[in-house]
Structure 1
């Protein structure tokens, strides 16, 4: 049985594993794409298969030691069906609100929906890849195993503050490994730091409110798809942008929609909902 007491060695082990898995899977995929001429979508899918496969091996080993592990990290069970529905609906409500207000306030104009078969297929394929290469393994490790380990020692609010810092350290570790093994430049911007930190808080609050790690996984995928096919659609893949528009300035929708509405407003709304729950439980 896994100990219910905090262990720094377990925490470091989880951090090292997720960093190494991300580094290995990412570089294998990049090698196949750049050196072997593999199609980019297939290469990214291979990355996802590797990352998710390694994560499942870890989960299997941990499950053998602790039968309650899935429940502990949120892969099993929810707080209530109604809260899960609210959790699933919230990012989509914020998405629609963000697009509408951006248009009404003049942040975007000449808006048109590009709902073609190619766009739908591209989004569906990318959603599968995002699940396997980013959302599932990262949430299992960061919002699951690592958060639960930190939460054994600290209260929720402290764990909520610390968890995004560990989340940020993962790509930093991957970039550091890349600079050591491949002599790649090492750099991280303040904007990237702020985005990852707030995004990490939002992801944890979605799990806290709904009681399931699957909600964090769903929100992770929604955010990535919004960023890639709406907010930055013209930059990520101009042929597969779900919403076409002219921005007031370059990067407006990435800041206004993806960051402010999808991430920050998720934190605000979920914090209010959790405070209401806490107050009702005291009555």
Structure 2
């Protein structure tokens, strides 16, 4: 039952780190005042500072348990070029969403804002998003927890279980925050749970067909920045990348979610299916020649 202990250790690490990181804002205010940048930096350092070394340590136990240590792990820098695979896929799906919505009259694009108005804020948020969200979550969830589950279950079930654990991390942290008297970081309604469930599935499938965790990190990061600086702007006190009007309130948000999450899942499934079909044909040809 060692795999269960590893699974619980990895999941508990993510829950504890996210709770401590999200709760570190109060301490940061006392030390550095009300600077949002300082709060973001401390939260990111706490999250990655706890999750990354612990998960990498747990990976060594997983390798010993399975008796297999890959020459190039899925988190290796040698697979880092796939970071741009994730970035470009998210940008392509996001841009396609805007093009379709604009051509159908669902949104009216009013203005593109010059980068000097939002680029600095976006770069600062990229650093925060990598440390607080993209890197630790992908390493822990789409990396370690999936690999532990894959040791025991088929791929499709491992994807499903990992995604449920992803939802459970957010739920557990919100419940702990409420229990100790802190305001929950997220609102746990059905729509939010559906969104993060689809997000988790898409990110896991992306890791599977690229064979690299960096693709998931790149997609995760780019998705967050598109949502924060194009779809749901003005949160960071700077003009958005683009200003537009919805024909129906909230339509652009729903369409962007559908394009970048459901669209990402469809693209990944098509690529995975194509790769499997090619592999089967190669096997048939090999058997025929032999």
Q: TM-score scaled to structure 2, two decimals?
A: 0.86
Given that 2:21 and 2:43 are in contact with CA atoms closer than 8 Å, whether structure 1 keeps it comes out as yes
Aligned counterpart in structure 2 of residue 19 of structure 1, from 15, 28, 31? 15
2:221 paired residue number: 221
Deviation, structure 1 residue 244: 0.7
For residues 106 and 246 of structure 2, the distance between their equivalents in structure 1, rounded to whole angstroms, comes to: 6
**Which runs of 5 or more structure 1 residues have no equivalent in the other structure?**
none
Question: CA, structure 1 residues 59+267, in 2 after alignment: closer, same or farther (shift >3 Å)?
Answer: same
2:36 paired residue number: 40
Given that 1:112 and 1:244 are in contact with CA atoms closer than 8 Å, whether structure 2 keeps it comes out as yes
Number of residues of Structure 1 aligned to a counterpart in Structure 2: 275
Q: Pick which of 103-112 and 200-209 moved more.
A: 103-112
Given that 1:78 and 1:212 are in contact with CA atoms closer than 8 Å, whether structure 2 keeps it comes out as yes
Question: CA, structure 1 residues 165+64, in 2 after alignment: closer, same or farther (shift >3 Å)?
Answer: closer
Given that 1:111 and 1:244 are in contact with CA atoms closer than 8 Å, whether structure 2 keeps it comes out as yes
Q: Pick which of 247-256 and 185-194 moved more.
A: 185-194
Given that 2:74 and 2:211 are in contact with CA atoms closer than 8 Å, whether structure 1 keeps it comes out as no
Q: CA offsets, 1:37-81, max 9 Å, x none?
A: 3311221111001111112321453466559479445435549x7
2:111 paired residue number: 112
The SS at the match of 2:13 is helix
User: How does 1:8-87 map onto structure 2 within 5 Å?
Assistant: 8-33=4-29, 37-62=33-58, 66=63, 68=69, 71-75=72-76, 77-78=78-79, 87=86
The SS at the match of 2:202 is helix
2:129 paired residue number: 130
Given that 1:73 and 1:145 are in contact with CA atoms closer than 8 Å, whether structure 2 keeps it comes out as no
For residues 198 and 273 of structure 1, the distance between their equivalents in structure 2, rounded to whole angstroms, comes to: 18
Given that 1:63 and 1:70 are in contact with CA atoms closer than 8 Å, whether structure 2 keeps it comes out as no
Q: RMSD in angstroms over aligned alpha carbons?
A: 2.6
Given that 1:49 and 1:132 are in contact with CA atoms closer than 8 Å, whether structure 2 keeps it comes out as yes
The SS at the match of 2:117 is helix
For residues 70 and 63 of structure 1, the distance between their equivalents in structure 2, rounded to whole angstroms, comes to: 14
Question: CA, structure 1 residues 40+87, in 2 after alignment: closer, same or farther (shift >3 Å)?
Answer: closer
Given that 1:164 and 1:201 are in contact with CA atoms closer than 8 Å, whether structure 2 keeps it comes out as yes
1:190 paired residue number: 190
For residues 110 and 205 of structure 1, the distance between their equivalents in structure 2, rounded to whole angstroms, comes to: 32
For residues 229 and 87 of structure 2, the distance between their equivalents in structure 1, rounded to whole angstroms, comes to: 19
Question: CA, structure 1 residues 33+104, in 2 after alignment: closer, same or farther (shift >3 Å)?
Answer: farther
For residues 243 and 47 of structure 2, the distance between their equivalents in structure 1, rounded to whole angstroms, comes to: 33
Q: Pick which of 209-218 and 110-119 moved more.
A: 110-119
1:164 paired residue number: 163
Deviation, structure 1 residue 216: 0.5
Given that 2:18 and 2:47 are in contact with CA atoms closer than 8 Å, whether structure 1 keeps it comes out as yes
Question: CA, structure 1 residues 70+237, in 2 after alignment: closer, same or farther (shift >3 Å)?
Answer: farther
The SS at the match of 1:182 is coil
For residues 56 and 87 of structure 1, the distance between their equivalents in structure 2, rounded to whole angstroms, comes to: 20
Q: TM-score scaled to structure 1, two decimals?
A: 0.88
For residues 117 and 86 of structure 1, the distance between their equivalents in structure 2, rounded to whole angstroms, comes to: 26
The SS at the match of 1:245 is strand
